[in-house]
Amino acid sequence: MYDIKYKCRYNKEDVFLDTDNVNDEEKNFIRNILYREDLMNILNINDKDDFDILNNRLSILFQKIKNYNPLMEMMKKLSAFLLSEDEELGLCLLYSYDYMYITHDCISEYLETGSITQKNMDLLNKMIAKLQNCKNN
């Protein structure tokens, strides 16, 4: 159900070559397509239009990680940003464009080992702190 070996592509610098003749708008468009493909591949979803499957997979994933307090704290912080106490909403936000590549690394590590390195947790915390700083300004 969850591909812990999958490597996200949408956030990589080498998606585009120096010789590619694409402007920033086209790059953003391509990165968005790659993001959606990465998300579907991580969750092993074939039908890109089936949001019920996506929600179901995220609910199953939530059940697998809900007892890991560091991740729960992240989900609580993100759901609170939207004035909610729903940790599953926080999980959905962790898979948003800005966070997915590091979230995937963290969750893959947890599913494989039962814990997440401090380095990866710090990266995720740093990204969430940026969002909170934007909200406060």
pTM above 0.85, yes or no: yes
Q: How many domains does the chain have?
A: 1
DSSP alpha helix (H) spans, 22-117: 24-42, 51-65, 69-81, 87-94, 100-113
Q: What is the pLDDT of residue 22?
A: 87
Residue at 3 is within a domain: no
Residue at 4 is within a domain: no
Domain with 89, as residue range(s), is: 13-136
Residue at 88 is within a domain: yes
10-residue averages of pLDDT along the chain (137 residues): 94 87 91 94 82 88 95 91 90 93 96 95 88 63
Residue at 116 is within a domain: yes
Residue at 52 is within a domain: yes
Residue at 7 is within a domain: no
Here the tokens at position 75 are: 């989900």
Question: Residues 10, 34: contact at Cβ < 8 Å?
Answer: yes
CA angle, 100 then 103 then 109, to 5°? 140
Q: What is the pLDDT of residue 130?
A: 76
